[in-house]
Amino acid sequence: MSRSADAPLGGFQLTTLVVLRMLVGWHFLYEGVAKITSDQWTSAGYLQESPGWFSGFFQDLAANPEALVVVDALNEWGLILIGLALLVGVFTRTATTAGIVLLALYYLAAPPLPGLEYTTPAEGSYLIVNKVLVELAALMVLLALPTSHRIGLDRLLRKPRTTVEAT
């Protein structure tokens, strides 16, 4: 049984996707607020420790104080704005895409691959798939199956459809 990409979502499907959107939004918002309200937070340690494919790039960012200030601000405010947008369902295509890019950068900076060692202990044992990749996949689902045009502020921003009457 196939479903057309334009077919409307059923009530349970829509509710599930809206809840997923709001949960991911809450997580982004909380992480951003936690970072911005902490006097001690900086991305420097995370970037310096990067053993991933682009470790040189991330370590160069950490070594440059001016760049680090920009990276920290983009990270903090990016998380907050993405989170708020997902929670209330406004500009969700942009917020979802920005969230995917941000999470991809997190993943590339610290991929859970065999043989890579980190000084900061992980929350669990990961092999290729970690919570960053799972949340990235959730955002991809939300990008593919948007809900804010039905439940969210995007509904208010949507251009009304014009109908052409048959003559």
Higher pLDDT, 166 or 62: 62
Residues, the chain: 167
- H helices within 6-64, ranges in order? 11-36, 44-48, 55-63
Indicate the DSSP class of residue 163: -
Summarised one tens digit per residue, pLDDT across range 97-111 is 999 999 999 999 988
Mapping DSSP to helix (H, G, I), strand (E, B) and coil, where does residue 9 land? coil
Assess whether pLDDT exceeds 90 at residue 74: yes
Q: Tokens in use for 155?
A: 């509904």
Indicate the DSSP class of residue 10: P
- What are the backbone dihedrals phi and psi of residue 89, each rounded to the nearest 5 degrees, phi first? 75, 45
Give the span between the Cα atoms of 86 and 112, in whole angstroms. 27
For the full predicted model, state whether its pTM sits above 0.75. Answer: yes
Summarised one tens digit per residue, pLDDT across range 9-36 is 889 999 999 999 999 999 999 999 999 9
SS (H, E, C) the chain: CCCCCCCCCCHHHHHHHHHHHHHHHHHHHHHHHHHHCCCCCCCHHHHHCCCCCCHHHHHHHHHCHHHHHHHHHHHHHHHHHHHHHHHHCCCHHHHHHHHHHHHHHHHHHCCCCCCCCCCCCCCCCCECECHHHHHHHHHHHHHHCCCCCCCCCHHHHCCCCCCCCCC
Assess whether pLDDT exceeds 70 at residue 5: no
- Average pLDDT over every residue of 82-98: 97
Higher pLDDT, 27 or 118: 27
Predicted local confidence at residue 157, as pLDDT:
85
